[in-house]
Amino acid sequence: MATVDVCRTALDELSALLASVDPELRARHVPNRIVVCRLSDLDHAFIGSIGPDGLHDLRDYTDADPPPDVRVSMTSDELVALAHGDEDFLHGWLRGRIQVSASMRDLLRLRSLFGL
């Protein structure tokens, strides 16, 4: 099990990967949304904003935060594996290791971006 600090670093690495995606592709498939990433084995969550310019304002989630548009849930080890390229989003999602809760429109956009 990874620590909260290791997971924060992993999210920063995923943010950098998203920033490296073609800007036109991001503009077509990444609307402005509030995203929560819940780490089931740590009982911890992060919240941030995602949009055409990438992932930003990443911080610890609190009950005072606004409700998210997209919820992603996984273990800390799964998050680290994603960040290091040892796992990909599609396979994690297909095996049920990554759960995503979002509107149908957002799911279709994520599918186009991540190959779901």
pLDDT tens digits along 91-110: 888 899 999 999 988 877 77
Q: What is the average pLDDT value for the chain, to the nearest integer?
A: 89
pTM over 0.75: yes
Measured CA to CA, the distance from residue 50 to residue 1 in angstroms comes to 26
- The domains of the chain are located at 4-114
Measured CA to CA, the distance from residue 70 to residue 61 in angstroms comes to 13
- How confident is the model over 18-46, as a mean pLDDT? 90
The first and second tokens of residue 89, run together, are 């989003």
- Contacts of residue 84, Cβ cutoff 8 Å, sequence gap at least 6: 10, 13
CATH superfamily placement of domain 4-114:
SCP2 sterol-binding domain (3.30.1050.10)
- How confident is the model over 28-37, as a mean pLDDT? 89
pLDDT of residue 112: 62
Residue 104: C-alpha distances to residues 3, 43, 47, 87, 101 (Å): 32, 27, 21, 24, 9
pLDDT of residue 114: 59
pLDDT of residue 116: 40
Rg value, the chain, Cα: 13
